[in-house]
């Protein structure tokens, strides 16, 4: 995946999410008669500007696409002509100011609902919730689950896909629930019900390899060790591997599946290996040294090849989940609400120290996820946009001065007291809020860089 494609996917995503957020502020401000001076997507030097409408609102696209703002007529930010005082933001009743500020995060929630609705109407293809090999010494192993079983219910919630199972289990894992009832059906049609205990799970590890932590893997059809693609300029390319080659053995150890081949390559970074290959009905031997690469802090081997996939076999374990429009809308509301709750719970656990701050992602990680999801197709990209839109809404609702949530906190205090906070208190809050926000950004960028270094 090229850097240019990643950057483009990131800019498109941020542009859409920020525009929706600021449109929320803009539309409710206009609805309440407040004059809008500028609508800006991005910060810094403008690369596009245009004045439009009766109020000659300045529409701007700026050079740094990491946010945006709506500048309204306000006596706190400059002089206001006497005939326009009624259109000044600071002259509005507190309920109107509250609505204008809250409209930004609400717009992001609405965007997430729209995107999830589209996903549920179009249909999402996913793996059936069939279990692969169970990882030893995990909650799944202790509950005696077996490969080949299909998950049908978790605590009475129906499960239709592997993503459904992961999502529901993640909620319980974050809360470290000690009683999670998982109902499965085996190959013989027998229904089994087992209880899982997540109380001893380390929440910090959930973002690294969630399925592996609880012990579940998804079932994968056996793939023959036959090469279908050789990446140009890769180790495999220069070693002489070709499309159609079948790997019979590595260092005289017989290979029966692509998974075994991958395991041998990954376990031997920088080590000379001899591959016995069947090519054109002849057996040949090729030496190859897997390139060493970093993955989640570990060194692994890679040679740049991809397998020949039997689509018919994979289609058997795929399921397409879709709903009629009205039901899809209800599911979209439900999905947005559940994701919002989960995000707030994760943030709460970070504040209490139950979850590490290393789980926070910054612009580099988000850009990477944007590129990956866009490359995987429209459905994955829409799901990514919905998730980030909810994250932006939640972040902006945090009671931190300089964010929307900080202003909403001020307005709630004003409603309770009957009078606004003093300018001195507001200024102090702004300084504290800016410090907190900068600290959060430093954490996020540090985590991004650390992920790049450790792979």
Question: Residue 16, Cβ neighbours under 10 Å: how many?
Answer: 16
pLDDT at 337 exceeding the cut of 90: yes
pLDDT tens readout for residues 235-282? 999 999 999 999 999 999 999 988 889 989 999 999 999 999 999 989
**Nearest alpha-carbon partner for 194 in 153, 165, 230, 231:** 153
Residue 332 to residue 354: CA distance in whole angstroms: 30
Question: Residue 110, Cβ neighbours under 10 Å: how many?
Answer: 16
Residue 365 to residue 359: CA distance in whole angstroms: 11
5-14, 35-44, 313-322, 339-348: range with highest mean pLDDT: 35-44
Domain boundary assignment for the chain: 126-220+317-321, 227-309
Give yes or no on whether 126-220+317-321 and 227-309 have one common fold. yes
Lowest mean pLDDT, pick from 19-28, 57-66, 278-287, 331-340: 57-66
Average pLDDT over residues 32-39: 93
pLDDT at 297 exceeding the cut of 50: yes
Q: How far is CA 120 from the centre of its chain?
A: 18
DSSP state of 164: H
Task: Note whether 336 and 255 are within 8 A (CB).
Answer: no
pLDDT band for position 65 (cuts 50, 70, 90): confident
Tokens representing 392 are 């932006």
Task: Note whether 70 and 36 are within 8 A (CB).
Answer: yes
pLDDT band for position 384 (cuts 50, 70, 90): confident
Q: Would you state the pLDDT for residue 218?
A: 84
Question: Residue 81, Cβ neighbours under 10 Å: how many?
Answer: 9
Residue 278: beta bridge partners? 246, 283
Q: Would you state the pLDDT for residue 455?
A: 47
Residue 19 to residue 22: CA distance in whole angstroms: 5
pLDDT at 396 exceeding the cut of 70: yes
Residue 200 to residue 176: CA distance in whole angstroms: 7
Residue 109 to residue 265: CA distance in whole angstroms: 44
Q: Would you state the pLDDT for residue 222?
A: 79
What DSSP assignment string belongs to 295-358?
ETTEEEEE--EEEPP-HHHHHTTEEEE---HHHHHHHHHHHHHHHHHHHHHHHHHHHHTSS-GG
Residue 347 to residue 232: CA distance in whole angstroms: 43
What's the Cα-to-Cα distance from 340 to each of 22, 57, 74, 92, 243, rounded to whole Å? 20, 33, 32, 30, 46
At a CB cut-off of 8 Å and minimum separation 6, what does 228 contact?
243, 306, 307, 308, 309
**Nearest alpha-carbon partner for 283 in 304, 254, 316, 262:** 254
Tell me the pLDDT of the chain averaged across its residues. Answer: 84
Residue 37 to residue 20: CA distance in whole angstroms: 18
Lowest mean pLDDT, pick from 42-51, 172-181, 428-437: 428-437
pLDDT tens readout for residues 314-336? 777 888 888 899 999 999 999 99
Q: Would you state the pLDDT for residue 351?
A: 67
C-alpha torsion 206→133→227→262, nearest 10: 60
Catalytic positions:
22
What's the Cα-to-Cα distance from 254 to each of 247, 264, 307, 437, rounded to whole Å? 9, 11, 17, 56
Average pLDDT over residues 56-63: 91
Taking the domain 126-220+317-321, which CATH number applies? Answer: 2.30.42.10
Q: Would you state the pLDDT for residue 358?
A: 59
Task: Report the percent of the chain where pLDDT is more than 70.
Answer: 87
pLDDT tens readout for residues 71-108? 999 988 888 888 989 999 989 999 999 999 999 999 99
Taking the domain 227-309, which CATH number applies? Answer: 2.30.42.10
Q: Would you state the pLDDT for residue 295?
A: 67
Q: Would you state the pLDDT for residue 31?
A: 94
Task: Note whether 113 and 393 are within 8 A (CB).
Answer: no
């Amino acid at each position: 995946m090229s850097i240019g494609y990643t950057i483009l996917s990131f800019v498109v995503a941020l542009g859409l999410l920020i525009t929706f957020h600021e449109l929320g502020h803009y539309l409710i401000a206009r609805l309440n008669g407040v004059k809008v001076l500028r609508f800006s997507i991005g910060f810094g030097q403008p690369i596009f500007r245009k004045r439009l409408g009766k109020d000659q609102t300045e529409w701007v696209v700026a050079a740094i696409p990491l946010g945006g703002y709506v500048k309204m007529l306000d006596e706190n930010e400059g002089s206001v002509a006497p005939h326009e005082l009624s259109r000044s933001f600071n002259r509005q009743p507190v309920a109107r100011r509250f609505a204008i500020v809250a409209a930004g995060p609400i717009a992001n929630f609405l965007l997430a609902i729209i995107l999830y609705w589209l996903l549920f109407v179009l249909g999402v293809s996913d793996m059936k919730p069939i279990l692969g090999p169970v990882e030893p010494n995990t909650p799944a192993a202790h509950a005696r689950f077996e490969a080949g079983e299909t998950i049908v219910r978790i605590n009475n919630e129906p499960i239709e896909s592997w993503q459904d199972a992961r999502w529901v289990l993640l909620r319980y894992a974050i809360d470290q629930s000690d009683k999670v009832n998982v109902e499965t059906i085996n190959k013989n049609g027998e229904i089994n019900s087992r209880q899982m205990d997540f109380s001893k799970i380390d929440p910090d590890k959930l973002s690294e390899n969630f399925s592996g932590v609880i012990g579940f893997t998804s079932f994968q059809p056996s793939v023959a060790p036959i090469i279908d693609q050789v990446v140009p300029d890769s180790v495999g390319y220069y070693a002489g591997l070709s499309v159609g080659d079948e790997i019979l053995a590595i260092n005289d150890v017989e290979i029966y599946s692509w998974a075994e081949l991958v395991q041998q390559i990954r376990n031997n970074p920088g080590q000379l290996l001899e591959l016995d290959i069947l090519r054109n009905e002849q057996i040949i031997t090729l030496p190859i040294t897997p390139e060493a690469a970093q993955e989640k802090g570990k060194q692994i081997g890679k040679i740049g090849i991809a397998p020949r996939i039997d689509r018919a076999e994979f289609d058997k374990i795929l399921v397409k989940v879709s709903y009629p429009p009205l039901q899809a809308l209800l599911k979209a509301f439900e999905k947005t609400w559940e994701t919002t709750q989960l995000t707030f719970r994760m943030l709460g656990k970070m504040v209490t120290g139950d979850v590490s701050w290393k789980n926070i992602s910054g612009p580099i990680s988000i850009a990477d996820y944007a590129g990956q999801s866009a490359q995987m197709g429209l459905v994955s990209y829409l799901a990514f946009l919905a998730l980030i839109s909810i994250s932006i809404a939640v972040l902006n609702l945090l009671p931190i001065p300089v964010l929307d949530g900080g202003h909403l906190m001020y307005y709630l205090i004003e409603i309770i007291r009957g009078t606004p906070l003093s300018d001195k208190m507001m200024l102090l809050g702004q300084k504290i809020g800016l410090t907190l926000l900068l600290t959060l950004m430093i954490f996020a960028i540090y985590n991004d860089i650390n992920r790049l270094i450790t792979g």
